[in-house]
Amino acid sequence: MLNDVTFGQYYPTKSFVHSMDPRAKLVLTIAYIVAIFLADNFFGLAAVILFLALAVIFSRVPFGSVLRSVKMILFIIVFTAILNLFFYTAGEELHVLWQWKIIVISWEAIINMVFLALRLFLLVMGTSVLTLTTTPVALTDGIESLLTPLKWIRFPVHELALIMSIALRFIPTLVDETNRIVSAQKARGADFETGGLIRRAKAMIPVLVPLLVSAFRRAEDLGDAMDARCYSGSKGRTKYKKLKFTWRDALGVLLLAGLITGIVFLNLYFGGKFAILNYFFSA
């Protein structure tokens, strides 16, 4: 049922991206998201797609694993795209294709729908590369290191990083647990694949209850295990692995800086995403 969920899973292999510092990968991921929303036309998104393809190639992660990460929010992407298609009214002059009462389909709406869907696709796929190439422990160390200045105001940086790491780590575990519960319920005659939306939602109740019980039990066992190992937070703790920036991180920063610079020039030269309409309709 949820076998294709890849978010939070780590793909073990040796690659250029796997060997990068987790702090650099976190910063680059944030800059990558900025680049996506900075792109104002399809040429800018094409540059982002090229950068993402290079990142996947250098990470040696199967492209299918990165692509499957979109399946989690595919319904949200489609639903948002449809809303933008039928109810897009921005702009003074629209090139209307079809209209019925308040529902309007225009060339601007189609372009905006495709543009928004591409942005969401690239956003999810780019962030999935981070989790596929970085272990939860490395992510914890990277987040804690980046947020170290907040310790001056007594912010619990270590605890926050640990919570985020545990949450990522338990996503695959909860997915496996859900699959086992669903299989057990199907063996008892439960039906999850027929009927309307409301019926399917009601059919998931026998799955959610034991899943929540299992999640609370795992949390309690994890807390007992941490207490048994005398865990007391960040006070007095040392690091087994020291994080170091290398030439790989510098190269990644340079490539992403080039991407953002290129997107700015593409925005200035080609204009916005609707500039192509002005070319066709003025010809």
What pLDDT score was predicted for residue 262?
92
CB atoms under 10 Å from CB of 131, counted, come to 20
Q: Quote the CA–CA distance of 159 and 145 in Å, as a whole number.
A: 12
Asked if the model's pLDDT at residue 251 lies above 80, the reply is yes
**Residue 93 domain-assigned (yes or no):** yes
Percent of the chain at pLDDT above 70? 83
Residues 6+ apart with CB under 8 A from 263: 35, 38, 39, 44, 47, 48
Q: Report residue 255 as tokens.
A: 């490539």
**Residue 259 domain-assigned (yes or no):** yes
Q: How confident is the model at residue 29 (pLDDT cuts 50, 70, 90)?
A: very high
**Residue 3 domain-assigned (yes or no):** no
Please give the distance of CA 54 from its chain centroid, rounded to a whole number: 18
Q: Which residues pair with 234 in a beta bridge?
A: 232
What pLDDT score was predicted for residue 1?
47
Which of these, 96, 98, 103, 117, lies nearest to 277 by C-alpha position?
A: 96
What pLDDT score was predicted for residue 25?
93
Asked if the model's pLDDT at residue 244 lies above 70, the reply is yes
CB atoms under 10 Å from CB of 223, counted, come to 11
184 or 169: whose pLDDT is higher?
Answer: 184
Q: Quote the CA–CA distance of 171 and 136 in Å, as a whole number.
A: 11
Does residue 246 contact residue 21 with C-beta atoms inside 8 Å?
Answer: yes
Residue 68 gets which letter from DSSP?
H
Q: CA of 259: how far to CAs of 45, 61, 255, in Å?
A: 10, 22, 6
| Region 120-134 average pLDDT | 89
| Region 176-185 average pLDDT | 84
Q: Quote the CA–CA distance of 120 and 79 in Å, as a whole number.
A: 12
Q: Quote the CA–CA distance of 141 and 257 in Å, as a whole number.
A: 24
Q: How confident is the model at residue 234 (pLDDT cuts 50, 70, 90)?
A: low
Residue 99 gets which letter from DSSP?
E
Phi, psi of 80 (to 5 degrees): -65, -40
What are the start-end ranges of the E strands in the chain? 96-100, 103-106
Half-sphere exposure of 202 (CA within 13 A, CB side): 5
What pLDDT score was predicted for residue 283?
47
**Residue 12 domain-assigned (yes or no):** no
Which structural domain, as residue segments, surrounds residue 252?
A: 22-282
What pLDDT score was predicted for residue 57?
93
**Residue 164 domain-assigned (yes or no):** yes
**Residue 80 domain-assigned (yes or no):** yes
Convert the pLDDT of each residue in 273-282 to its tens digit: 666 655 555 5
Q: Quote the CA–CA distance of 264 and 167 in Å, as a whole number.
A: 36
What are the start-end ranges of the E strands in 89-217? 96-100, 103-106
Q: How confident is the model at residue 208 (pLDDT cuts 50, 70, 90)?
A: confident
**Residue 2 domain-assigned (yes or no):** no
Q: Quote the CA–CA distance of 20 and 8 in Å, as a whole number.
A: 18
What pLDDT score was predicted for residue 215?
87
What pLDDT score was predicted for residue 135?
84
Q: Quote the CA–CA distance of 150 and 194 in Å, as a whole number.
A: 51
Convert the pLDDT of each residue in 132-174 to its tens digit: 898 878 888 888 888 888 888 888 888 888 787 788 778 778 8
Does residue 95 contact residue 108 with C-beta atoms inside 8 Å?
Answer: yes
- Give how many domains the chain has, as a whole number: 1
Maximum average pLDDT range among 98-112, 158-172, 214-228: 214-228
What pLDDT score was predicted for residue 249?
92
Which of these, 138, 104, 130, 116, lies nearest to 39 by C-alpha position?
A: 116
Q: Quote the CA–CA distance of 168 and 9 in Å, as a whole number.
A: 8
| Region 182-197 average pLDDT | 76
Look at 35-44, 186-195, 263-272 and tell me which has the smallest mean pLDDT.
Answer: 186-195
**Residue 16 domain-assigned (yes or no):** no
Taking CA 21 as the corner, what is the angle to CA 18 and CA 26, rounded to the nearest 5 degrees? Answer: 95
